[in-house]
Amino acid sequence: MQTAFLAQRIFDGSRILEEQAVLVHDDEIVGLAPASDIPGKFNKRDLGDVLLAPAFMDLQIYGGNGKLFSTELTVEALEATYESCLQGGCTQFMITMATNSIDKFLSGIDRVRDYWARGGKGLIGMHLEGPYISTAKRGAHIEKFIKRPESEEVKMLLDKGRNVIKMITLAPECCDREIIDMVLRNQVIGSAGHSNATYQEAMDGFEAGIPVATHLFNAMSPLQGRQPGMVGAIYDSTAHCSIVCDGVHVDFASVRISQKIMQERLFFITDAVAEVRHGEYQHIFKSDRYTLPDGTLSGSTLTMSGAVKNGVEKAGIELTEALRMASLYPARLMKLDKKYGNITSGRKADFAILDEGLNLRTLIVEGE
């Protein structure tokens, strides 16, 4: 099928265009054309007075639509998470498991493979948030599962999770250089997080090759005058970092300041969970957040389209930059920007359609 998608405005990943159409063959973009000069072989689909942008990508989400993956460890939980992502304009996601037993991680790996085998869509892979993190900065993570990494165990986990595990959040001060090298050598992205590292410990981790950090400000040593900590090292390095733009995990002023400093190194995640009142990780819904039963902040209610809207309206980030923070920048980190994050020939035809208020109007997935 050949379709020309017309919209009042089109964001191609670089700039906003007017009076243009996106030309799609089946599930792939073949180019752009003036709205007045669409080749006759394309069926026109006029979306109206909307903004068409690349669909979003979420590199840290734990579940959705009432199902937390680490509690259920089922294909159905992954399907529910994908459907939840679509409701926020996101077509690609990384299922995340917080610090847990190695056996549960292994079960999670098997379920991801099952999901793919059944033709499940949108799942990039798995993000293990832990267990090699700092007890002092564990946040909502379960302390009994936190450990220092041993090379034999890490090797086993990487071998079992080959092509499934795509990212591991670890505290650089808790991991020897050998461990960091092993993770990176296996084409897994090491992300510095849940860390009480000093500035120098964090910089040592980034200089060892860690390319990114997990949820800026949350569960990491803060920036202070005499102790720049992890936050200072992130600012001062070339590392990328995710941020939860919900006004709960991070004040919107901190989002704005960080974006000014980091520019294209900063990207949005949802850090979203689902309400669960049983099992080891219990998340209680509290209006604009989720908490543990003891009140500890444990996850967000955010969607990726909500992050974009908040970024523009609450944090004062330019619209084009907020859109890139939800699409192009995470795609670049994952080396998926040849398929997602911009609207040029050869990319997948996944589009988020936003109204004037930056609310999600609809979603085009694989050209449909």
Residue 323: the pLDDT is 98
Residue 279: the pLDDT is 87
Decide if 111 contacts 147 (C-beta within 8 A): no
156 in the Ramachandran plot: left (φ > 0), alpha (ψ -120 to 50) or beta?
alpha
Residue 83: the pLDDT is 98
Q: Does any domain span residue 338?
A: no
The segments of the chain whose pLDDT lies below 70 read none
Q: Does any domain span residue 209?
A: yes
- Encode pLDDT of 93-121 as tens digits: 999 999 999 999 999 999 999 999 999 99
- Encode pLDDT of 52-78 as tens digits: 999 999 999 999 999 999 999 999 999
Q: Assess whether 49 and 60 both reside in one domain.
A: no
Residue 57: the pLDDT is 98
Q: Residue 357 sits in a domain of what CATH number? A: 2.30.40.10
Edge-to-edge order in the sheet of strand 290-291: 284-285, 290-291, 297-299
Domain count, the chain: 2
Active-site residue list: 271
Q: Assess whether 12 and 71 both reside in one domain.
A: no
Please tell me the pTM assigned to this model.
0.98
For residue 181, the enclosing domain spans 56-333
